[in-house]
Amino acid sequence: MLNWFKISYAQIGFSGTIYYLADIILRKIKIGSVYPYCFLSQPLSSPGKKLRLSKGYAVRKIQPGDPRLLEILPPAVCDYRFEQKAVCIGAFKEETLTALLWFTTDIYHEDEVRADFIPPSDACWDFGVHIEPEYRMTRAFSNLWGASTVIMNDMGYEKSLSRISAFNPISLHAHTRMGAKLIAKAIFINIGPVQISFSNAKPLLYISFSKSSRPRFYFHKNDQSLAT
Amino acid sequence: MTTINEVKNILRDTLQIGDRADELQKDTPLLGNIPELDSMAVAMLITSIEEHFDIFVDDDDISAETFETFGSLCDFVEEKLAE
């Protein structure tokens, strides 16, 4: 137990460890869960280190109902995302779908917790990045992200916002290496039908008693980077 | 500086693994052992290797085996340098 705490503390800090422990206990007794989120802003023009695109990949938008998309994601998930006008971008290698990501330019309706995230006018919201297992050690991701940033830029966006679980320090570091900055944090605690959220972005505190009650987080052009 | 040390420095800088880079031996596993080595990191790592050694890495040149151990990555770089 002490060793687990030490490892967890080293990776996600004291508060993260407490949240993680609370999540384990709530899930164990089957009454709830804890989701701590970090909100990141990724500049689209300077992704840390410039990634080279390769000719072997074709990156393009994927339309609803594409059978290659449905081989990767359940139809209900695709429908939920397309219904909120999300754009799906895929990286194809010889017509094999190797990687995909989604972004929305308006409200992002989170599907893990009850919350909506609204990016500022100069930003989109990316989510659902997936790389097929056999392509994870290849350039699939760099081609996908590189071409997607061009598409987002062409649509007039300068940055892309996203949320990462604070339980996933590796992903957080990976985004930071790409030039992302942390702009806000939030924690969602679900106990039975009740969801309590705390955040340093408004609404600072929100208690939801039903599925229709969702806090809306508005992000702004001038959101400053938080100390990590 | 040997290729091994140069690759070690690239891993240190690209993955930001600090002193852990000093512990890398040829038989040290990379995949599964260095959690920082994810899909994003692979892309940046390959780009860094290309720039540092002035080589071109084709998509078909790399696979999971390339990143299996520190030695397999060094061997890959040396093979590309010999081309």
Which tens digits make up the pLDDT trace of B12-23? Answer: 988 888 889 999
**What's the whole-model pTM score?**
0.85
Query: Chain A closest CA to B71's CA: distance in Å?
Result: 16
Predicted pLDDT at A170: 80
Q: What is the CATH number of domain A12-218?
A: 3.40.630.30
Query: Residues of A with CB below 8 A from B59's CB?
Result: 54, 56-57, 93, 138-139
Identify the CA nearest to A93 among candidates A67, A130, A56: A56
Structural domains for chain B: 3-82 (1.10.1200.10)
- Asked if B16 has any chain A CB less than 8 Å from its own CB, the reply is yes
Which tens digits make up the pLDDT trace of B46-77? Answer: 888 999 999 988 888 888 889 999 999 999 99
Alpha helices in chain A, H assignment, sequence order: 2-28, 67-70, 75-83, 140-154, 169-177
Query: Chain A closest CA to B36's CA: distance in Å?
Result: 6
Is the CB of residue A189 less than 8 Å from the CB of residue A197?
Answer: yes
Alpha helices in B1-83, H assignment, sequence order: 3-15, 39-53, 70-82
Q: In what order do the strands lie in the sheet with A87-93?
A: A57-62, A87-93, A96-104, A123-131, A159-165, A32-43, A181-191, A194-199, A205-208
Residue type at A129? V
ipTM of the complex: 0.72
Residue-averaged pLDDT of chain A: 90
